[in-house]
Chain A
């Protein structure tokens, strides 16, 4: 049984909110990649670590107000990413991007192991954002109320993307980022403090990572290390669709992934109850990334061949 349009539409705002968080993470991943050549697979794990620290501060201490815990979440994201960048950035600077990226898998596994040990999945954990509970001020779309956390997530994604685009285009540091992305060695010979610029990229990327984790925890209502860690897959897919270049395409791709993933939930009885389409929704980022890369790759080939003629 196919879902009605009315049923389907209601999944859109939920998908947009989650897609927005994928998008923010994707933008962070792209900026870091363009500056340092590192595709950070640990993005989800770092965000998760920040949220777990916030959870402990809120629930296991008597002195920490919620707002301070939220700030701590963002700071932890920045601190871990910065520490990794400071220690391993220079070591891997001259290595192949594949090696640089694979190294972040090591960080992912270490963080995942630490979180599973420190916060085993035997306790109910959640970090509730104040905006989760502004029930009276959410927006009603069809039958469902869209909470302020979802609206904030969407706005945040656009602000981060627009801000980063403007930053890269109009600031001196942004120009340095772009220069490093084009050619690290030439940029260095021009007197740009490459290490310092890269360090700032790690730090900013980490802050964005912490903020994404915080928003995601509000959207998911539960904290679980494995789940949070592997949500990076959707962000990576979006970044790949953006060819690790375009921030706006990355955001758009992330939103599409989120919406498609969410809307597939409506197909719980189609084509059959035993094998509904909904159960394949986890494949969404892969399928969309492959389709997009194939289409984009074909277009590029056509363009190149035309240019050749």
Chain B
């Protein structure tokens, strides 16, 4: 009887073990919980969020602020949402040596008085130690003098021309609409366009300067260059207008956000005039949502200037960006250039903060450190990033061209230098050489050398 019972027990235990093994083999049971996103040991092939400890930061928060333009047709909170996503990942991985980052964002509906008030509020009332991820139509123009007075160096993304070489207090990770349009013009010229029509939106290109470098470039190559400013392109007639302006075999650059761009190109497709010209767009259209919506007709047909390297690669930062996006970014956004901007804004700032001693984690310490960034590398950048003690900044002056194919974004051209058609590009290149900003020892150092 007892032996029968023992045999039964053995059989039962054996059965359970067999079932468990089967379940394990089928992947139904995990041997351990998945590692938190952004955790682990950093290496040249693996990027992590901050310390990568996998432990939540619980100390006194470090406040970082930002100003973002959000208005009809201008949805740049995609960038600040991605900055917040990365900071949240950092906070879930040990924060800044145990202290979490508190990210404060003020939304500007395109009102210069508000932009000025927000900067004051962030620095004087909310006592932020840094401003990171700002993307505002007027911040560079409105607040440059105030930032100079307070010695705040904004690591963010520029829009206004002054952000690119016009003030030392903005260190943009992007190259902005004017240079992105220029990059698109260079692509069109290489593709054999006979003319270049550059179109920018009046709502945000209030000064009407975004197309100037592209038109200048076209003229330098002996092509007809036409500068067009239009409101939100609501009607099909806009597409016909651009095609007529460019003429057969000409090139059209649309500096619009994804939805505005789609309005124009779909109208051109429906009217059967899309193949009369070559098409290009500035960086906002480097977005999974564009590829998904454009349709197969536009496969390989539109060169989208991409200010950062593709998020589709297996590079460590591209991989981390996708992981952070998956867990932390609101899904109303896609994977995109704007997402990459936010990710890199936050990542550079975090890496700098992690090099500072606790008594340096104040506005003075952090902003001084921001001016020392040098030869900082990422697989999302064509060239190393830097700040330097310069009168103006244009560190991102190389980009590439992408296009949509089979519902996905694919790279079309390798990285290329932006044509030196403005004094700012020339000055940036000269400073890089003179101060060796893209060579030598990196600051902040790579995470695995920290």
A135 within 8 A of B: yes
Neighbour of B276 across the interface among A126, A143, A146, A149, CB < 8 A: A143
Q: Measuring CB to CB, which residues of chain B are less than 8 angstroms from any residue of chain A? A: 72-73, 75, 77-78, 226-232, 234-238, 240-241, 244-245, 258-260, 262-263, 266-267, 270-273, 276, 289-290, 293, 332-333
Q: Is the CB of B245 within 8 A of A124?
A: no
CB distance from B175 to the nearest CB of A (A): 23
Q: For residue B226, which residue of chain A has the nearest CB?
A: A273
Contact of A145 with B237 at beta-carbon distance under 8 Å, contacts A124-B259, A221-B263, A266-B244 already known: no
CB distance from A2 to the nearest CB of B (A): 13
The docked-state distance in angstroms from the alpha carbon of A294 to that of B155 is: 57
Q: For residue B263, which residue of chain A has the nearest CB?
A: A222
Q: Is the CB of A121 within 8 A of B262?
A: no
A15 within 8 A of B: yes
Q: Is the CB of A145 within 8 A of B271?
A: yes
Starting from the known contacts A122-B75, A227-B234, 10 additional A-B residue pairs (CB-CB under 8 Å) come to: A120-B75, A121-B259, A124-B262, A124-B289, A219-B235, A221-B270, A224-B73, A265-B238, A266-B244, A268-B244
The docked-state distance in angstroms from the alpha carbon of A17 to that of B236 is: 10
Q: Is the CB of A143 within 8 A of B270?
A: no
The docked-state distance in angstroms from the alpha carbon of A11 to that of B226 is: 20
Q: Is the CB of A224 within 8 A of B240?
A: no
> Which chain B residues lie closer than 8 Å to A18 at the CB level?
235-237
Of B72, B78, B333, the most chain A CB neighbours within 10 A belong to B72
> Which chain A residues lie closer than 8 Å to B259 at the CB level?
121, 123-126, 222, 224
Neighbour of A135 across the interface among B227, B237, B238, B270, CB < 8 A: B270
A81 within 8 A of B: no
> Which chain B residues lie closer than 8 Å to A220 at the CB level?
234-236, 263
Residues of A132-175 contacting chain B, CB below 8 A = 132, 135, 138, 140, 143-147, 149
The docked-state distance in angstroms from the alpha carbon of A17 to that of B235 is: 10
Q: Is the CB of A123 within 8 A of B332?
A: yes
Q: Is the CB of A262 within 8 A of B234?
A: no
Q: For residue B228, which residue of chain A has the nearest CB?
A: A268
Contact of A14 with B237 at beta-carbon distance under 8 Å, contacts A122-B332, A268-B228 already known: yes
> Which chain B residues lie closer than 8 Å to A146 at the CB level?
271
Q: Is the CB of A221 within 8 A of B226?
A: no
CB distance from B347 to the nearest CB of A (A): 23
Q: Is the CB of A273 within 8 A of B234?
A: no
Q: Is the CB of A124 within 8 A of B258?
A: yes
Q: Is the CB of A10 within 8 A of B240?
A: yes
Q: For residue A125, which residue of chain B has the nearest CB?
A: B259
CB distance from A251 to the nearest CB of B (A): 19
A7 within 8 A of B: yes
Q: For residue A15, which residue of chain B has the nearest CB?
A: B237
| Band of interface residues on A | 35 or more
Neighbour of A266 across the interface among B241, B262, B333, CB < 8 A: B241
> Which chain B residues lie closer than 8 Å to A145 at the CB level?
270-273
CB distance from A257 to the nearest CB of B (A): 12
A93 within 8 A of B: no
> Which chain A residues lie closer than 8 Å to B258 at the CB level?
124
Q: Is the CB of B235 within 8 A of A222?
A: no
The docked-state distance in angstroms from the alpha carbon of A122 to that of B107 is: 14
Listed A/B pairs (16) with beta-carbon separation below 8 Å: A18-B235, A116-B72, A121-B72, A123-B259, A125-B259, A138-B270, A144-B272, A147-B271, A220-B235, A221-B262, A222-B234, A222-B260, A222-B262, A222-B263, A261-B235, A282-B231
Q: What 0/1 readout, one digit per residue, does chain A (258-287) give for beta carbons within 8 Å of chain B?
A: 000110011011000100001100100000
CB distance from A255 to the nearest CB of B (A): 14
Contact of A227 with B270 at beta-carbon distance under 8 Å, contacts A124-B293, A220-B263 already known: no
Q: Is the CB of B272 within 8 A of A135?
A: yes
A226 within 8 A of B: yes
Which 10 interchain pairs have the tightest Cβ spacing?
A145-B272, A122-B75, A265-B241, A222-B263, A124-B259, A144-B271, A221-B266, A262-B237, A265-B237, A14-B237
> Which chain A residues lie closer than 8 Å to B267 at the CB level?
221
> Which chain B residues lie closer than 8 Å to A279 at the CB level?
229-230
Contact of A268 with B263 at beta-carbon distance under 8 Å, contacts A14-B237, A18-B235, A122-B77 already known: no
Contact of A14 with B276 at beta-carbon distance under 8 Å, contacts A7-B244, A125-B259, A222-B260 already known: no
> Which chain B residues lie closer than 8 Å to A262 at the CB level?
235, 237
CB distance from B336 to the nearest CB of A (A): 11
The docked-state distance in angstroms from the alpha carbon of A18 to that of B238 is: 13
> Which chain B residues lie closer than 8 Å to A121 at the CB level?
72-73, 75, 259
The docked-state distance in angstroms from the alpha carbon of A266 to that of B240 is: 9
Residues of A97-137 contacting chain B, CB below 8 A = 116, 120-126, 132, 135
CB distance from A82 to the nearest CB of B (A): 28
> Which chain A residues lie closer than 8 Å to B290 at the CB level?
124
Q: Is the CB of B236 within 8 A of A14?
A: yes
The docked-state distance in angstroms from the alpha carbon of A261 to that of B240 is: 13
> Which chain A residues lie closer than 8 Å to B271 at the CB level?
14, 144-147
Q: Is the CB of B272 within 8 A of A140?
A: yes
The docked-state distance in angstroms from the alpha carbon of A11 to that of B241 is: 9
CB distance from A37 to the nearest CB of B (A): 31
Q: Is the CB of A226 within 8 A of B241?
A: no
The docked-state distance in angstroms from the alpha carbon of A11 to that of B240 is: 8
> Which chain B residues lie closer than 8 Å to A278 at the CB level?
241
Q: For residue A227, which residue of chain B has the nearest CB?
A: B234
The docked-state distance in angstroms from the alpha carbon of A17 to that of B270 is: 13
> Which chain A residues lie closer than 8 Å to B293 at the CB level?
124, 126
Of B229, B231, B259, the most chain A CB neighbours within 10 A belong to B259
> Which chain A residues lie closer than 8 Å to B272 at the CB level?
135, 138, 140, 143-145
Q: Is the CB of B260 within 8 A of A273?
A: no
The docked-state distance in angstroms from the alpha carbon of A147 to that of B272 is: 9
Q: For residue A145, which residue of chain B has the nearest CB?
A: B272
Q: Is the CB of A224 within 8 A of B232?
A: yes
CB distance from B267 to the nearest CB of A (A): 6
> Which chain B residues lie closer than 8 Å to A15 at the CB level?
237
> Which chain A residues lie closer than 8 Å to B77 at the CB level?
122
The docked-state distance in angstroms from the alpha carbon of A125 to that of B257 is: 13
CB distance from B215 to the nearest CB of A (A): 10
Q: What 0/1 readout, one digit per residue, does chain A (1-36) give for beta carbons within 8 Å of chain B?
A: 001000100110011011000000000000000000
Q: Is the CB of B236 within 8 A of A219?
A: yes
Contact of A224 with B72 at beta-carbon distance under 8 Å, contacts A7-B244, A11-B240, A132-B270 already known: yes
The docked-state distance in angstroms from the alpha carbon of A226 to that of B226 is: 29
Q: What 0/1 readout, one digit per residue, does chain A (222-239) give for beta carbons within 8 Å of chain B?
A: 101011000100000000
> Which chain B residues lie closer than 8 Å to A126 at the CB level?
259, 262-263, 266, 293
Q: For residue A128, which residue of chain B has the nearest CB?
A: B266
Q: For residue B208, which residue of chain A has the nearest CB?
A: A274
Q: Is the CB of B332 within 8 A of A268?
A: no
> Which chain B residues lie closer than 8 Å to A266 at the CB level?
241, 244
> Which chain A residues lie closer than 8 Å to B234 at the CB level?
220, 222, 224, 227, 231
